[in-house]
Amino acid sequence: MIVLTPLKNFQFPVHAECISPDVFQGKSVKEIASLTVWEGNKKKKLGDLFKIEETSAETPSIIINSDASEVRRVGQGMKNGEIVINGNAGMHLGEKMAGGKITVNGNANGWTGSSMKNGLIEIHGDASDYLASPYRGSTEGMRGGKIVVDGNVGSDSGCYLRGGVIIVKGNAGPFMGFHISKGAIYVEKNAGNRLGASMTGGKIVVSGSVDELMPTFTIDGVKGKVKIDDTLKAEGPFYVFLGDLAENGNGKLFVSQPANPQLSAIYDKYL
Amino acid sequence: MSVINAVTCPICGCLCDDIEVTVVNNEVVKVKNGCAVCEAKYMGYKSEHRIRQPLIRKDGKLVPVSMNEAVHKAAEILANANYPILYGWSSTNCEAQRVGVELAEEVGGVLDNTAVVCHGPSLMGTQEVGIPTSTLGQIRHRADVIIYWGCDPWSAHPRHLERYTIFTEGRFEDSEWKSYLNKVKAAAGKKKLLSAQRAGLSKKAPATVAESVVFNKPPETLQKEGRKLIVIDVRKSMTAEMADYFIQVEPNKDYELMQALRALVKDEELDVDQVAGVPVEYLKEVVETLVNCKFGVIFFGMGLTQSAGKFRNIEVAISLTRDLNMRTKFLIMPMRGHFNVAGANIVFAWQSGYAFGVDFSLGYPRYNPGETTSMDVLLRGESDAALVIASDPGATFPKRAVQSLVKNPLIVIDPHMNATAMLGDVVFPSAFVGIEVEGTAYRMDNVPLPLKKVVEPPEGILSDEELLKKILEEVKSIKAQKTKQKAEGA
Amino acid sequence: MTELLIKNGFVFDPLNGINGEKMDIAIRDGKIVASVNDSRAKKIDATGLTVMPGAVDIHTHIAGGEVNTGRMIRPEDHVKDVVRKTALTRSGTGYSIPSTFVTGYRYSKMGYTTVMNPSMAPLGAKHTHEELNDIPLLDKATFPLIGDWWFVLEYLQKGDLEGCARHVAWMMETTKGYAIKIVNPGGLESWGFGRNVHSIDDVVPNFGITPREIICGLAKVNTMLNLPHSIHLHTNNLGIPGNYVTTLETMKALESVPTDGKPICHITHLQFSSFAGDNWGNMKSAAEEISKYINNHSHMTFDMGQVIFTDTTTMTADGPFEYTLYQLSGHKWVNSDVETETSGGIIPMRYKRKSAVNATQWSIGLELALLIEDPWKMFMTTDHPNAGPFFAYPKIIAWLTSKKARMATLAKCHKKAQKKSLLPSIKRELSLYELAIVTRAGQARALGLKGKGHLGVGADADVAIYNINPETLDIAVKYKTARKAFDSAAYTIKDGVVVVKDGEVVQNVDGRTMWLDIKTAEQIKVDEEMKRKFKQYWTVEYENYPVFDHYLKVPEAITVKASV
Amino acid sequence: MMQQKLHVTLLTGRTIEQGVGKEYGKSSPEYYEACSMVYMDADDMQKLGVKNGTNVLVTTPNGSVVLKAVKYPRSAIPGLIYIPYGPWANSIVSNATTSIGMPSFKGTPAEVEAAPDQPVLSMKELLKKEFGR
């Protein structure tokens, strides 16, 4: 196990995609210390910015102790191993991750798990915007794996999801599940507006209240329970909506009936 | 005395190039064809608010210094910075912008233009879904349905209506100016006619009485032959006064309204009776007008880019336009603000691949709004220096971003003592592009136009391009010296 | 006076009939000369290397509004291909639409020295030239789109060829252009109201003229103006199954245009115009029908538009075609119509081996290039970036020169496409001599570029040297080695200056922008007419429309004496 | 009924006067006149007991600013206030960018109250107050 401790509070962005179990694998502490990172516009060595120690424990493969909110691209594309961050994580954490596990004992920043393919990301605090969502201009959203956030998530999360599961135990911001085509999103508390806008497939389940539903969803019925994945079932009853009609979509939106009495006046007449 | 015609007006994205300027003794004395803002610019350029010489802040006060001292100071700030911002660029020519990209690359900085606070979201929207658009002449010749959504050309692009849309003669469509006058006449008699005629000259507003918000059914005139004007906004703007149909959308509900229109264009039924405060039955009539037109166009402004949804609002507006092409010809265009913000996007893109928010800190261009725009960097407090040129973030950025800008060394290049210059540490006066300096600018439809020099700049005042080249040279020489010292040290 | 001597290479110079002879090439002050002072000249030892004229690309979208909009909408394309700044070179991005500097570097690295930007909306001409100025290391020229320009439609409709010719000359000079570009003639004007034309005899709405009349009319105009290149045509119905019929009709129609033996038309990216079948399900190759006609006629030249299996960006003035692609793919769609002149569109595209249509398209391009017997007629392009990015050229070279290479690729293609492909039956493998024709000599000749594409005395000293020893390397067998050599030139020499060594840029120079200064009678009358009519047609002023001289960083005016 | 405070939605944006003012120079009286004001709904003004030209204090989570209230001339805009772009507006607009670099210049919550005795600051005074320069 490699333990990284930042030597200072970073003001400038630190790009450190080398902090990944696949890269560290088989390298000595000295070799790891000489890996290239960037601090602002200056090229540095990992050892210039972090204290690097090795312990005999096998897992996790890497621990970052204390705040790393300016340290970007940690675990980018990682395939194996485990990273634990005891503090806040920087942007693009686990971007395009293909396997292994990342745990954040703090908050995560934008684009965490962006376009991830497989693996597990657990965030014990909040996640910022664009959780699991792809890079600008791309529609290649998260394809597989699982993300669990204990706190809240920001806006535009789970965009273009095409597989895998996202579980949010707190609240979700606007545009949650924008244009998803497959996979599942579960929000245990409340969801912001434009929920599931332009979705063409997949499912989104909200156990709390929704700010406002897109007008382009049509009610399909009420359901008692909804399966999120093999390990989790959400207890309803839920209104079931189909949409987004603007995309001729066939996505399913499950919204708690008891938590959303405001919907009854509009939709109950169609049931 | 000399009269110079076909001058391109360096103010807004309309880039009217039919301005006639009269010059006596190297001073503009008369401007013809321009709007009120245009006249103000040609009068204001020589005002007492100009900066006359380079300034550096010493003991808290800006004091005059030599050009060399200012250039050296600016270059030193940039060359030593770890994460500098180079912001602005929208009110200068492409020639200066080209030097700007090289400077940003040389100092490993974040290069950004004012699109970040105006149509950056529009560019991001096009990155999601593309954009069916055209040059403005295409609309002049062909459009019979013209929609202004979240924009008020009468106030922000005063000659847009008369040059490109509803009040212009095209090959296949006529101007609606006469029938508009008749309408106004019928409605309000002679007094209003006179004020409307003044409106045609884009100088004074037609005076009108406040009405209460009542949702009107779409008028039958929406189905008529000829050009039709629809305005959608959260308030009844000056442009809305002239519309055949005005839809007052609830604030922050444009996204829902457009998505609903998309569903209606696809003949879907909605469960709801109203969207964004508008009855769905009225929306269906609007959709009828849209799908039955010969050639429709949506112009949109910051009513969409700056309200909730931002780039998703643009994305859905474009998607609506795209969907309408299944039924007829429909195009869409952003109402670009600064006269050469389009040029800044274009120049940045051809040199780096990205139109705004370009981060060179890793030695190559990177782009990710939310991460790499000047606003992101400032709000997170990551930068340690800034150069601001041809814009005024001191007056246009939210307070916290300006506080972050002021915390670090700030270099400002501008003709006027604007808010940013007042806050600056090194301030360069520059010549007015399009009045004292020639060059190229891009219209809102990406058509390049030449800017003219009609008068000489004041003695000793350089152009943006010249100033930037000086700073770039000085940066290179400081860096070369550093490398040499390092080599000698080793 | 700078002198350079390239010693002892195997020289392939088809325009001078030199086929792999071991010889020296002498250069003085940027030109090829008979000899130089052996002791004073700088020397390049080319022993065991292949020496060719600098390569020429007759059709590549590298600059201007359409290309740049493509850049702006595709951050996801750039992010996977970044280029770092060096002490000598600027930074930038690829992939399918590289930034300007990167475009220059990457072309030069492959031994290219001259490229043609084939699609320029006249109203945006300044933009195109500004970008061309920022593309280093190459000579360039650009073709204004005028097949649907209202003046052309109106004059041809009236039957006034001379009037049309004079206006075309005005446009060429005004936009600093090099050749007449025609795209889906009549279709682009129709697209102004969302319509299209579907055969060369469809009437264009509001203008009462047919594509046939536009194409033949402009071919005659081209002859009257004595332009160095022929008309440069993107055919009607491009990219639509069954379109080879239209292509054949177009070629036949052009037989009516008188010629003194010089080709009168260049049909570009022929692959996209050679589809048989009548829907996407049964779409197949018409390479046999098309090549048979071409082998029996000599009034035209062509280029491939070869498909590369990769992620790329399609962009063309053919707005209606791009809309069709949008309907097929649902991908992000740009449309960009230009008042009184033209239209345009962009769609990102991924060509997949496992798509029957894409694999068939890939096969068609190669079938055409191999079945058309005369290499002077058919040139190598990808219609960059439409069928693939230009830096994939070494792959095409391998497919053209090695049956083994193309069969290896075909084996990975969709089964249906494999079964339909003609490639297994084609034995032909291009020699280095023929390769030099399809990549430089033929292109230069078709373009009428006197100083390009050859190494004769007086030619521009644009030279490419590749790490290929034709005596020891059989490129048909060792195609991967050859591919590497063509990807990374041992030397690229531009105007006598070594700009690339071992695939790396070692020196920065600006290339020239060539344009036609056409001398016609009554130029003043045309100017006056344009001035008078201008406001009715455009939304900019007459005075602000032209590309002024200072927009060209290094201009090279080519004076042409017209016969009208 | 008179109210002490009004909860409204804040919009900022262009006006032609602001456009003209900025061309005269940001330190010009034209710019000051054009930008240090707020358009309000007539009924809303009545609710606050504010007349055309009375100063009001507009507050958001980002700060407060004193502006001259002006009746919106063309239609009712109940619950909306409109401040022309400029440093006055920017001392209170929301920083929230939802990670796209664009602050929320339009459509964020604000409070308005009458402030007839508080002065509208000049740009110099405003910059001094906010940024200490």
If we measure between CA atoms, which residue out of A142, A54, A149 comes closest to residue A103? A149
Report chain C's C-alpha Rg in angstroms.
22
How far from the centroid of its chain's Cα atoms is residue A77's Cα?
15
D-proximal residues of A, 91-110, CB under 8 Å: 110
Residue A38 lies in a domain: no
What is chain B's percent helix, strand, coil content, to nearest 5?
40, 20, 35
Cα atoms found within 13 Å of the Cα of residue A51, Cβ hemisphere only: 8
Residue that is written with structure tokens 């179990």 in the block: A21
Domain count, chain A: 1
In angstroms, the CA D63 to CA C413 distance is: 64
Q: pLDDT means per 10 residues in chain A (271 residues)? A: 97 98 96 98 98 94 96 98 98 98 98 98 98 97 98 98 98 98 98 98 98 95 96 95 96 98 96 90
Burial B354-385 (b: 16+ CB within 10 A, else e): bbbbbbbbbbbbbbbbbbbbbbbbbbeebbbb
If we measure between CA atoms, which residue out of A230, A219, A229, A216 comes closest to residue A257? A219
The amino acid at B158: P
In angstroms, the CA D112 to CA D60 distance is: 9
Work out the pLDDT band at B282, boundaries 50, 70, 90: very high
Cα dihedral sign for B413, B414, B416, B421?
Answer: negative
In angstroms, the CA B170 to CA B180 distance is: 17
Which option is the CATH number for B50-118+339-431+460-489: 2.60.120.310, 3.40.50.740, 3.40.50.720, 3.40.50.620?
3.40.50.740
Cis peptide upstream of residue A244 (ω within 30 degrees of 0): yes
End-to-end CA distance of chain C: 42
What was the pLDDT predicted at B46?
79
In angstroms, the CA C356 to CA C241 distance is: 13
In angstroms, the CA B140 to CA B289 distance is: 19
Q: Is A70 on the interface with D (CB under 8 A)?
A: no
Average pLDDT over residues C21-47: 96
In angstroms, the CA C261 to CA C278 distance is: 35
Q: Quick one: what percent of chain B has pLDDT higher than 70? A: 94
Q: Is D68 on the interface with B (CB under 8 A)?
A: no
What was the pLDDT predicted at B182?
85
What was the pLDDT predicted at B191?
54
What ipTM does the predicted assembly reach? 0.97
Q: C74, A137: Cβ pair inside 8 Å?
A: yes
In angstroms, the CA D93 to CA B306 distance is: 11
Cβ-count burial of C532 within 10 angstroms (0-12 exposed, 13-18 middle, 19+ buried)? exposed
Helix (H, G, I), strand (E, B) or coil at B301: coil
Q: B446, C134: Cβ pair inside 8 Å?
A: no
Mean pLDDT of chain B: 93
Cα distances (angstroms) measured from residue B343 to each of B149, C126, C345, D112: 23, 12, 20, 40
Report chain B's C-alpha Rg in angstroms.
24
CA distance A137 to chain C (A): 6
What domains, with CATH codes, occur in chain D? Answer: 5-131 (2.40.40.20)
Q: A136, C75: Cβ pair inside 8 Å?
A: yes
Work out the pLDDT band at B204, boundaries 50, 70, 90: very low
C291: pLDDT strictly greater than 60: yes
What was the pLDDT predicted at C262?
94
In angstroms, the CA D101 to CA C502 distance is: 43
What was the pLDDT predicted at D75?
85
Chains B and D touch, using 3 or more CB pairs below 8 Å: yes
Domain boundaries, chain B: 50-118+339-431+460-489, 120-334
In angstroms, the CA C210 to CA C233 distance is: 15
Nearest by CB to residue C334, choosing from B131, B136, B363, is B131
Q: D98, A174: Cβ pair inside 8 Å?
A: yes
B387 within 8 A of B87, measured Cβ to Cβ: yes
Burial B458-485 (b: 16+ CB within 10 A, else e): eeebbbbbbbbbbbbebbbebbeeeeee
DSSP-assigned states of every residue in C170-219: HHHHHTT--S-EEESTTHHHHHTTT----STTPPPTTT---HHHHHHHHH
Q: Using a CB cutoff of 8 Å and minimum separation of 24, what contacts does A156-159 make?
A: A156/A129, A156/A130, A156/B312, A156/D98, A156/D99, A157/A127, A157/A129, A157/A130, A157/A131, A157/A132, A157/A133, A158/A131, A158/A132, A158/A133, A158/A183, A158/A185, A159/A130, A159/A132, A159/A133, A159/A134
Report chain A's C-alpha Rg in angstroms.
20
C60 within 8 A of C439, measured Cβ to Cβ: no
Q: B440, C332: Cβ pair inside 8 Å?
A: no
**C-contacting chains (≥3 CB pairs under 8 Å):** A, B
Cα dihedral sign for C526, C532, C534, C536?
Answer: negative
Work out the pLDDT band at B214, boundaries 50, 70, 90: low
CA-nearest residue of chain D to B356?
D101
In angstroms, the CA C18 to CA C239 distance is: 38
C239 within 8 A of C325, measured Cβ to Cβ: yes
In angstroms, the CA B348 to CA B354 distance is: 6
Enclosing H/E stretch for C11: strand C3-13
In angstroms, the CA A238 to CA A257 distance is: 5
D38 within 8 A of D69, measured Cβ to Cβ: yes
Cα dihedral sign for D13, D18, D19, D24?
Answer: negative
DSSP-assigned states of every residue in B84-107: EEEEE-TTS-HHHHHHHHHHHHHH
* Cβ neighbours around B453 below 10 Å, total: 18
In angstroms, the CA B294 to CA C172 distance is: 33
C473: pLDDT strictly greater than 70: yes
- The runs of H, that is alpha helices, within chain A are 21-24, 29-33, 46-49, 264-267
Chains C and D touch, using 3 or more CB pairs below 8 Å: no
Which DSSP letter does residue C366 get? H
Residue A1 lies in a domain: no
Cα dihedral sign for C471, C473, C479, C482?
Answer: negative
Domain B120-334 has CATH 1.10.3720.10: no
Sorted by sequence, the CB contacts under 8 Å of residue C36 that are 6+ apart come out as C3, C4, C5, C26, C27, C28
Q: What angle do CA A198, A203, A209 make, to 5 degrees?
A: 85
Three-state SS for chain D is CCCCEEEEEEEEECCHHHHHHHHHCCCCHHHHHHHCEEEECHHHHHHHCCCCCCEEEEEECCEEEEEEEEECCCECCCCEEEEECCHHHHCCCECCCCCCCCCECEEEEEEEEECCCCCCCCHHHHHHHHHCC
Entry pTM? 0.97
B24 within 8 A of B455, measured Cβ to Cβ: no
A-proximal residues of D, 63-102, CB under 8 Å: 98-99
In angstroms, the CA C369 to CA B32 distance is: 60
Beta bridge partners of A65: A86
Residue A33 lies in a domain: no
Residues in chain B with CB shorter than 8 Å from the CB of C127 are 346, 442, 446, 448
Helix (H, G, I), strand (E, B) or coil at C220: helix
Q: Is C534 on the interface with B (CB under 8 A)?
A: no
In angstroms, the CA B408 to CA C282 distance is: 66
B195: pLDDT strictly greater than 70: no
The amino acid at A226: V
**B-contacting chains (≥3 CB pairs under 8 Å):** A, C, D
In angstroms, the CA A27 to CA B434 distance is: 60
Residue A27 lies in a domain: no
Can you give the CATH number for the domain in which A95 is found?
A: 2.160.20
Q: Domain residues for A254?
A: 59-270
Average pLDDT over residues C223-248: 98
Work out the pLDDT band at D1, boundaries 50, 70, 90: low
C192 within 8 A of C343, measured Cβ to Cβ: yes
Region of poorest pLDDT, from A65-74, A168-177, B28-37, B189-198? B189-198
Q: Is A138 on the interface with C (CB under 8 A)?
A: yes
Q: Write the pLDDT tens digit of every residue in D42-51.
A: 999 999 999 9
DSSP-assigned states of every residue in A192-251: -SSTTTT--SSEEEESS-BS---TT-EEEEEEEEEEEETTEEEEEEEEEEEE-GGGT--E
If we measure between CA atoms, which residue out of D95, D47, D102, D52 comes closest to residue D72? D52
Residue A260 lies in a domain: yes
Cα atoms found within 13 Å of the Cα of residue A217, Cβ hemisphere only: 29
Average pLDDT over residues C323-348: 97
In angstroms, the CA C381 to CA C379 distance is: 6
Q: Write the pLDDT tens digit of every residue in D73-132.
A: 988 899 999 999 999 999 999 999 999 999 999 999 999 999 999 999 999 999 999 999
Work out the pLDDT band at B196, boundaries 50, 70, 90: low
Query: What is the β-pairing status of strands C463-466 and C311-316?
Result: unpaired
Cα dihedral sign for B351, B352, B354, B358?
Answer: negative
D92 within 8 A of D65, measured Cβ to Cβ: yes
B431: pLDDT strictly greater than 70: yes
B206: pLDDT strictly greater than 80: no
What was the pLDDT predicted at B149?
98
Residues in chain A with CB shorter than 8 Å from the CB of D99 are 110, 128-130, 154-156
Q: B82, A42: Cβ pair inside 8 Å?
A: yes
Counting one residue from A and one from B, how many pairs have CB atoms under 8 Å apart? 113
Helix (H, G, I), strand (E, B) or coil at B459: coil
Q: For residue B261, give both structure tokens.
A: 């229109």
Nearest by CB to residue C539, choosing from B136, B325, B363, is B136
